[in-house]
Amino acid sequence: MDEGIPHNRPGNEGAARDLLTVEQAAQYLQLSASSIRSYIRQGKLKAFRVAGLRKVLIARTELLALLEPTIASNTQRPAA
């Protein structure tokens, strides 16, 4: 299910397990990679470019902060 997404496993060092590539972030949120890149360009999602490489990494905490809770439309109906 979470193939390609780093987790807390032996061999993964500290915070590295909490960094995702654009493709991994897209898979995690079930979005396209272009949507993730768009959020980064718009400033809605903070990402880091690895110096000297074209690799972009996103902290898992930043990715989760992008999510907003939704209120179900039928949970708070006024009494008729």
Does a structural domain hold residue 56?
Answer: yes
37-71 pLDDT per residue, tens: 999 999 999 999 999 888 999 999 999 998 887 77
Tell me which residue range forms the domain holding 61: 14-65
Domain count of the chain? 1
Q: Is residue 19 part of a domain?
A: yes
Residue corresponding to tokens 């690895």: 50
The answer to the question of residue 79 being in a domain is: no
Q: Is residue 70 part of a domain?
A: no
* Residues 3-29 pLDDT 10s: 555 554 444 455 567 999 999 999 999
For residue 42, the domain's CATH number is 1.10.10
pTM for the model stands at: 0.66
| Position 38 in a domain | yes
The helix or strand, by DSSP H or E, that contains position 60, with its residue range, turns out to be helix 60-65
**Any domain includes 5:** no
